[in-house]
Structure 1
Amino acid sequence: MGRARSIAICGAGIGGLAAAIGLARQGHRITLLDQFDTPAPVGSGLMLQATGLAVLEQLGLGGEVRQLGSPLTRLWGLTTPSNRPVLDVRFEHLRPGLIGLGVQRAMLFNLLHRTALEDGVEILTSRRIESVDPSSGDIMLETGEFLAGFDLVIDALGVRSPLTRAPKQELAYGALWATLPWPAGGPFKPDALEQRYKAARQMAGVMASGRLEPHGPVSLTYFWSIRRDAEAAWRDAPLDRWKADARALWPETESLLDQITHHDQLTFARYRHRTHRQPVSGPKLVHIGDAWHAASPQLGQGANMALLDAHALCLTLEEAGDIPNTLARYAALRRNHIRLYQAMSWLFTPVYQGDGRVVPFLRDYLAAPLSHVPPAPKALAAMVTGAFGAPLKRLGLRP
């Protein structure tokens, strides 16, 4: 390994915390800055795929995550009113025994945050970043305070990062989501992320999302697709009006809808596309996760991609060499995989979230039957699990 460096990480999300842990264990001095008074997770339950799990295993956290997560083996979706299967992706088609894990984002965050503190990461809260000088590594806060002396600054501030000018395309659809108790003996498949669709204009989903702590109750993540320009009207309207639509789309969710008694139980998530051509903005500034590349969430794929970015950066910084060459190596390791998934997200998002009529028709009556014809089942499993492009092999990780 090269010499120990002073590294600042901006943003205490999944990618920022994973990078902090990995780099601290290499002997670097890590300062993690976050805008919140108390760092906390933002977002819903997510599905950890073999990609993200491999990184967590490398950090020694795989056992605890597996203990608390809900094993998932497939994606299963029906269109209404015909109940025609239009999504059936089984992970075993890619590799026997392959699973994903439904987890609460709060559980994953708490585990990473605790581990970072145990590994000696200095976490500075209530620090809102205004800018970073990519040449000197000096950080300017919104208060006017400067933090200087860093050999490298890592931007893990997400899609709204002020440290990048990459354009952001806000997608027409977002989603309302809630975390609710898993209904014992209920109608949902515990090993599947289930979805129901009406064309592509309405979509609801249910996914088991594990426990917050050992022996705690199992939760589920419920989500409802909604146009971003309809969110304000949804909040102003009586909740029963939306519940009638949600119940009509998926009658079996009535027991879940009964638990939602006010609008604030549902959090609205906006989705954006953004991609930097280069994740390196100068000799001392590099971007990871959604600060480099963001897309529609695609079952929490953003968290898995951020974990891969964090590992790739740790891998290259472990090698001897100057910072610019190290960052160039990091970009090379991740660029092709990211381009591939950005393209697939752009291609497939309108299939399940959009106002068009032709694309959902083709999905239901052409694509769905063809998805069962080899080699489609294996290809779909590879796409959903993030295995296209062999990212684990490229990063020296074992699935």
Structure 2
Amino acid sequence: MTYRIAITGAGIGGLAAAALLAQDGHSVTLYERFATPRPLGSGLVVQPVGLAVLDSLGAGDEARALGAHLTRMLGHSGSRIALDVAYRPDQPGLALHRAALFHVLWQAATRAGVTPLTGHTATDTLETPGAIHLVTDHGSHGPFDLIVDASGAGSRLSRLTARPLPFGAVWADVPWPGTDLPGTELRQRYLAARRMAGILPIGRLPGDPTPRAAVFWSLSAAELDAWPDRDLQDWKAEVAAFWPAMQPFLTGITDKTRLTPARYSHGSLARPYANRLVHIGDAAHRASPQLGQGANMALLDAFALALALRQPLEKALPAYHRSRRWHLGLYQALSAAFTPQYQSHRRALPLLRDHVLSPLSRVWPLPRILTALVSGDLIPPVAGRR
């Protein structure tokens, strides 16, 4: 059975859902608010379970060719190791520029026959007997059997009210410089929990052989408010003093517009669907990027929804929710527990992290558990399927 489906948002979840659903024979219309669809942000990590979704789209090899294969995540607090997680040798993570992931998903959606309608901002839905219409700033569209809200954190269709987190960051992507840092590891450095800096190799952009890195620097909400007035050279001097290895990565940043401020929030919809409307990705759940699961969750939502829609609609949406509920709930809970240890104003938690939890994390069997946690398969990502 096939359905008439409208998808709002050409981000990670929206493009993946569009491609998967079109591959299954559904009639898919993709609405995007930007006149020219484009990714927002810098680098991200697609974990092994997310790569399995890309493989199901026929986009896995293309993504691997563009990204950097991650074998380890290593963070230091002073001279102490505060974070050390290794991937399974045969299942590395994949770090990508958002533009690279957007490219491979866009190609997959195009191959599946999806043509987006751009310049349409979804504002509401209108249900009629036996169908649903999408309301955008250009009028009403439909009828559809189902609307998939993949509009992200700015969704006007979602009723999710997320809790703002006390810390965010500024991000930039830069060419990978001459450095002793390995190109297969995420490296981080912490000062208690009030400062976190990171360097992530992210492979290359489509059509450009230059290897790149994403750099990030945590800021409190108050510091983010003051960021527009912060002197760039003063900030670069602070970063270099805190972590000298980061200095070569900052050389090419001569304009503050190269740095993108990001604020984070936490929350999820208890029931991410209605009669003919379902929310996926950030429209349904949001968390700190500390566990590196944001792109993963959007890809898995799209995959689980496509599987669920192989049955009658009245059964499909509850089945979708059941298939993702436990995995999402676990990772939301773990994100809420781990984030304050790395980004907060707490004083005791960083001491607990450095002197108790980090040493314990290197004692069997915890390394294997942490590997499964980061890889995204601590429990089955889609209930009932490997």
Please classify the TM superposition score into its range, dividing by the shorter chain length.
Answer: over 0.9
Counterpart secondary structure, 2:181: coil
Aligned equivalents of 1:78, 1:363: Cα separation in 2: 11
Counterpart secondary structure, 1:178: strand
User: For each residue in 1:172-197, what CA deviation from the matched residue of structure 2 results, as whole angstroms up to 9, or x when unmatched?
Assistant: 1111010001124x121211100000
The counterpart of 1:139, out of the listed 131, 134, 138, is 134
Q: Describe how 1:217-232 pairs up with structure 2 within 5 A.
A: 217-232=210-225
* Identity percentage of aligned residues: 45
Aligned equivalents of 1:289, 1:395: Cα separation in 2: 20
Aligned equivalents of 1:63, 1:238: Cα separation in 2: 42
Segments of 5+ residues of structure 1 without an aligned counterpart are: none
* TM-score normalized with structure 2 length: 0.96
Instruction: Confirm or deny that 1:199 pairs with 2:189.
Output: no
Tell me which stretches of 4 or more aligned residues in structure 1 moved more than 2 Å: 133-136, 394-397
Q: Describe how 1:1-399 pairs up with structure 2 within 5 A.
A: 2=1, 4-80=2-78, 83-92=79-88, 96-133=89-126, 136-143=131-138, 145-184=139-178, 186-213=179-206, 216-280=209-273, 282-298=274-290, 300-319=292-311, 321=312, 323-391=313-381, 394=383, 396-397=385-386
Counterpart residue identity of residue 305, structure 1: M
Counterpart residue identity of residue 37, structure 1: A
Contact 1:197–1:249, Cα closer than 8 Å, also in 2: no
Counterpart residue identity of residue 109, structure 1: F
Tell me the CA shift for residue 232 of structure 1: 3.5
Contact 1:166–1:274, Cα closer than 8 Å, also in 2: yes
Contact 1:79–1:197, Cα closer than 8 Å, also in 2: yes
Aligned equivalents of 1:213, 1:363: Cα separation in 2: 39
User: For each residue in 1:203-223, what CA deviation from the matched residue of structure 2 results, as whole angstroms up to 9, or x when unmatched?
Assistant: 100011011126611111100
Counterpart residue identity of residue 140, structure 1: V
Counterpart secondary structure, 2:132: coil
Contact 1:203–1:353, Cα closer than 8 Å, also in 2: yes
Q: What do you get for the CA RMSD once the two structures are aligned?
A: 1.5
Aligned equivalents of 1:133, 1:164: Cα separation in 2: 14
Aligned equivalents of 2:7, 2:48: Cα separation in 1: 25
Aligned equivalents of 1:234, 1:269: Cα separation in 2: 11
Aligned equivalents of 1:214, 1:263: Cα separation in 2: 26
Contact 2:290–2:338, Cα closer than 8 Å, also in 1: no
Counterpart residue identity of residue 9, structure 2: G
User: For each residue in 1:92-128, what CA deviation from the matched residue of structure 2 results, as whole angstroms up to 9, or x when unmatched?
Assistant: 3xxx422001111101101111221232113100101
Matched positions, count: 384
Aligned equivalents of 2:231, 2:164: Cα separation in 1: 27
Contact 1:46–1:299, Cα closer than 8 Å, also in 2: no
Aligned equivalents of 1:134, 1:86: Cα separation in 2: 51
Contact 2:57–2:108, Cα closer than 8 Å, also in 1: no
Compare 193-202 and 107-116 and name the one that shifted more: 107-116
Contact 2:75–2:82, Cα closer than 8 Å, also in 1: yes
Aligned equivalents of 1:274, 1:161: Cα separation in 2: 14
Contact 2:42–2:173, Cα closer than 8 Å, also in 1: yes
* TM-score normalized with structure 1 length: 0.93
Q: 1:74 to 1:224 in 2, by over 3 A?
A: same
User: For each residue in 1:69-97, what CA deviation from the matched residue of structure 2 results, as whole angstroms up to 9, or x when unmatched?
Assistant: 111111101112xx2111111113xxx42
Contact 2:310–2:316, Cα closer than 8 Å, also in 1: no
Compare 17-26 and 114-123 and name the one that shifted more: 114-123
Contact 1:155–1:291, Cα closer than 8 Å, also in 2: yes
User: For each residue in 1:112-168, what CA deviation from the matched residue of structure 2 results, as whole angstroms up to 9, or x when unmatched?
Assistant: 11221232113100101111135642111134x111210100000112211122221
Contact 2:8–2:14, Cα closer than 8 Å, also in 1: yes
Aligned equivalents of 2:45, 2:385: Cα separation in 1: 22
Counterpart secondary structure, 2:203: coil
Counterpart secondary structure, 2:144: coil
